[in-house]
């Protein structure tokens, strides 16, 4: 099952990259109509929300990410996101958790905002889309202790582990063109893990790119500043 997820994710990445690097305009001749696939440019986004979210999380977890999104026909927006995240926390049971790593996401957004003009002055967007995320990272558990008052035993151990995770996201985004090619905006995501660990097995407290690894869905927020390259208005 893990290999199937890995190959599907790799195929999705390849599709997004090929789409971005392909020719600017292709004509597909139909029997009755001509449909044009128009490449409108590429936008590079930088997430600036860690300034606030790391403070609100009391430094227990942090995440930095960037993304590149292509635009086709002002309707389709394939996207690749890359980031680095981690966490350090003293948990309720006395175990200290430390872990960090890179994460990746690929997906597709659809613009729900219809422009009245063929060439609007400002290209504002309301996007709705999906993502598949992946990470492979190291983490440590320190001070795992077993105290037995009856048998008078006290056992303490530390562990170093690696983990990989796949997850699925649904995202809604707004992008506003402040001045020519400069965008600000936000993204709200709801994330769900695609696999669960075996009962009794160790699992990481925090997954880079996903968030705190609980039993329920996780919400995520980004506030981005972006610049559009290769703008083909």
Partner 1 sequence: MKRLPIIFILSIIFFSACKQDETCRESKEVFLRVGFFESVTNKAVSIDSLTVFALHQDGSAMDSLLYDNRKNMSNIILPLNKVEQASLFVMKLNDLPQDTLSVLYENVEYFISYPCGMIITHTLDTVWSTHHFIKDVNMVHKNINTTNVQHLQVLL
- Return residues touching partner 1 (CB under 8 A): 49, 52-53, 56-57, 91-95, 97, 124, 144-146, 148, 150-151, 153, 155, 174, 176, 184-186, 188, 200-203, 205, 212, 214, 219, 221, 223
Beta carbon nearer to partner 1, 28 or 147: 147
Buried b (16+ CB within 10 A) or exposed e, 62-92: bbebebbbbbbebebbbbbbebbbbbbbeee
- DSSP 8-state class, residue 32: S
Minimal distance in Å, beta carbon 180 to partner 1? 17
* CA–CA separation, 168 and 171 (whole Å): 10
* CA–CA separation, 121 and 198 (whole Å): 54
Contact (Cβ atoms closer than 8 angstroms) between residue 48 and residue 225: yes
Minimal distance in Å, beta carbon 21 to partner 1? 32
Contact (Cβ atoms closer than 8 angstroms) between residue 59 and residue 179: no
Beta carbon nearer to partner 1, 182 or 188: 188
Beta carbon nearer to partner 1, 110 or 122: 122
Minimal distance in Å, beta carbon 184 to partner 1? 8
Beta carbon nearer to partner 1, 190 or 229: 190
**Element containing residue 185 per DSSP (H, E):** strand 182-193
Minimal distance in Å, beta carbon 62 to partner 1? 13
Beta carbon nearer to partner 1, 94 or 194: 94
Minimal distance in Å, beta carbon 42 to partner 1? 23
Tallying the residues shown for the chain, one arrives at 233
């Amino acid at each position: 099952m893990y290999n199937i997820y890995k190959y599907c994710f790799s195929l999705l990445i390849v599709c997004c990259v090929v789409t971005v690097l392909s020719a600017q305009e292709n004509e597909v001749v139909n029997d009755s109509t001509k449909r044009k696939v128009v490449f409108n440019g590429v936008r590079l986004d930088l997430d600036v929300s860690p300034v606030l979210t790391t403070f609100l999380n009391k430094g227990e977890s942090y995440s930095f990410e960037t993304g590149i999104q292509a635009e086709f026909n002002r309707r389709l927006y394939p996207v690749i996101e890359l980031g680095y995240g981690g966490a350090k926390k003293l948990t309720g049971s006395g175990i200290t958790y430390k872990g960090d790593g890179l994460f990746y996401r690929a997906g597709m957004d659809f613009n729900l905002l219809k422009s009245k003009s063929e060439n609007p002055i400002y290209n504002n967007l309301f996007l709705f889309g999906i993502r598949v995320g992946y990470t492979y990272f190291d983490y440590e558990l320190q001070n795992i202790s077993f105290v037995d008052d009856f048998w008078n035993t006290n056992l303490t151990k530390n562990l170093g582990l690696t983990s990989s995770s796949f997850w699925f996201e649904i995202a809604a985004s707004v992008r506003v063109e402040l001045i020519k090619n400069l965008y600000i905006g936000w993204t709200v995501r709801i994330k769900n893990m695609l696999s669960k660990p075996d009962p009794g097995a160790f699992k990481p407290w925090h997954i880079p790119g996903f968030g705190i690894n609980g039993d329920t869905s996780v919400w995520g927020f980004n506030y981005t500043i972006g610049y559009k390259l290769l703008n083909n208005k």
